[in-house]
Chain A
């Protein structure tokens, strides 16, 4: 994403608004880019930063060749500050560092930009600190908050930003692009459901870990139907050793969600929407076992489990509870 024209292909509305405000020199002091994974929030923020700093700007587009542009891409620009969550959350100290940074003059120019990635991960303390200088911006400061869930950010911050909602990509287009990249129909469909980012999708689909994860999800569903008493054993012996990290487990639960969604699609006859097109037999079999109502209920429980993982509940306990709930 090196020009606004390129950005226009995926995010026409937002890129038009931003490109125009650059041309008319009416950049707001704070933006919140909100959109699902893979919609290009980060690329958008870099593009905007480059447009602000680039000295050879041509009709609003950065040149992508000068030192300023190159250093923004490599993260070495001294006046562009990026805050990335340190572990699970953005800590107070990170915002404090930013605060100190902004009492100083710029190193090369007086233009300053800060980009906060995953802004919803700010702790309450950090958010309140940020609020203080979001409220009183100096002339040439531009803040960009990137988030997948703007509702998780405190109201007082949201109200001070210009909110730019990035539209989700059409899964069909993503699917098509993935097929062009040489993925099989079934995995293209699954990847399109998993992420909107083409490169990430290709990467994941080539990962052996992911292939095994897919197998495990199918196995889990089978175990839950056939031998529910052994489900806990399965979780401990097979599931947990494979999904070691929290985000791995989140991915595993996503895969599980797709399966139960498919059951529902099967019930309502929307066969086109089914993600696991190569597992139709299993889905038909599962829908004999679980009622439509029960599948909906299960989806709710999986969502709840995902939420608990975010809140730092022990992963093994979350999975145990989930399987017990599904059995019931």
Chain B
């Protein structure tokens, strides 16, 4: 293998794939970074077996030549040293060459490094692209979907399947659902292209992978292609591939959890509500489960209280836009409520209650596709 490459381009790619490489891995080869040279460009791969990131540097892009003198081949290099070497090389171009004995030479100007590589055959083979089960959505929308659901995944490993986000595609709609069995966050969007054959329901992406993906992607309107294989999911932008393994198991059926009727509906200002719950939770934080209580009153008044006997209590009244239905007293976790309100992204919010012991739903006033469900806390 041999090629000559622009150092800045290479550095960019290396930085991307390094995000997937972890030094604490049980599979020795994964401490390395795979470099693969093909006739049309150079591909770098990093992986910690949960997520894998591939970055492709095309030979030529917009008339600018990135890579020259390509002789195809592949090699795995120690990720501990390679990035620092590339960063500190003196010249704008870097020549990388490997021989049959897995020895790699990195040349730039007068500097010359000789590294011991590893056989690229030893590297895990990542799933090839399956174009049948794929769809495209804009990157910023995907980031939004992730942001609005991933916070609700479970952090305890007792039910591992709940540490992931359930992705469903049905009737041309894409649905993200996350729950930790105390709350549920869901977001639905219509898919642009009419790919009506496309349907899958039991795809569960680990929350950690989605957080990582969210960090890597830039906020742009470009499209990202999402494809699902039997055991992996692939997110593909132009030159960056992000692969994640899926969680094994059946995701619980969540649609039945969402109450269809409501007894009390409160319309209010999102920000005001969020701030007042934030204030009430200042005292509640100290007590074990961070519980605040909400009570509806006459004249569209809501009273939010919190009482921790050792510390003190707080009472706050705020005016809702309107309150429909029965009177209500309900207690819930302030943290869950705040998490839910933060992602509503609308000035006005609609909260539907079905009694003090039943779950309630939070939605932005104009959009039925965002849904946050919270289970109340029983207090006496």
Binding site for B on A (CB under 8 A): 67, 70-71, 74-78, 81-82, 97, 99-100, 102-110, 138
Contact = CB atoms under 8 A, between A and B. Distances in A.
Interface string B278-308: 0000000000000000000000000000000
B157 A67 contact: no
B122 A74 contact: yes
Nearest to B243: A107
Given A82-B26, A138-B248, A67 B231 contact: no
Interface in B158-183: 160-161, 163
A103 B26 contact: no
B50 interface: yes
Interface in B161-207: 161, 163, 206
A67 B123 CA distance: 9
Interface in B24-71: 26-30, 49-50
Given A104-B246, A108-B124, A76 B26 contact: no
Contact of A78 (B49, B157, B230, B248): B49
8 contacts: A67-B121, A76-B29, A78-B27, A100-B157, A103-B247, A106-B231, A107-B124, A110-B231
B261 interface: no
A71 to B, nearest CB: 6
Interface in B243-276: 245-249
Nearest to B122: A76
B105 interface: no
A251 to B, nearest CB: 29
B232 interface: yes
B245 to A, nearest CB: 5
A86 to B, nearest CB: 11
Contacts, number: 61
Contacts of A81: 26
B122 A102 contact: no
Contacts of A108: 124-125, 127
Contacts of A97: 26
Contacts of B49: 78, 107
Interface string B229-249: 011100000000000011111
Contact of A103 (B125, B160, B230, B232): B160
Nearest to B76: A76
A97 B49 CA distance: 13
A138 B248 CA distance: 9
A104 B27 contact: no
Which residue of B231, B248, B249 has the most chain A CB atoms within 10 A of its CB atom? B248
A102 B26 contact: no
A105 B122 contact: no
B125 A67 contact: yes
B120 to A, nearest CB: 10
A82 B28 CA distance: 11
A105 B248 contact: yes
B157 A99 contact: yes
A71 B245 contact: no
Contacts of A110: 230-231
Contact of B28 (A76, A105, A106): A76
Contacts of B160: 100, 103
Nearest to B123: A76
Interface string B89-133: 000000000000000000000000000000001111101000000
A128 to B, nearest CB: 15
A221 B49 CA distance: 55
B121 A70 contact: yes
B281 to A, nearest CB: 32
Contacts of A76: 27-29, 122-123
A75 B124 contact: no
Given A76-B27, A105-B246, 14 more contacts: A71-B122, A75-B27, A78-B30, A78-B124, A100-B160, A104-B246, A104-B248, A105-B231, A106-B231, A107-B124, A108-B124, A108-B127, A110-B231, A138-B248
A249 B225 CA distance: 61
A104 B245 contact: yes
A74 B29 CA distance: 10
Contacts of A75: 27-28
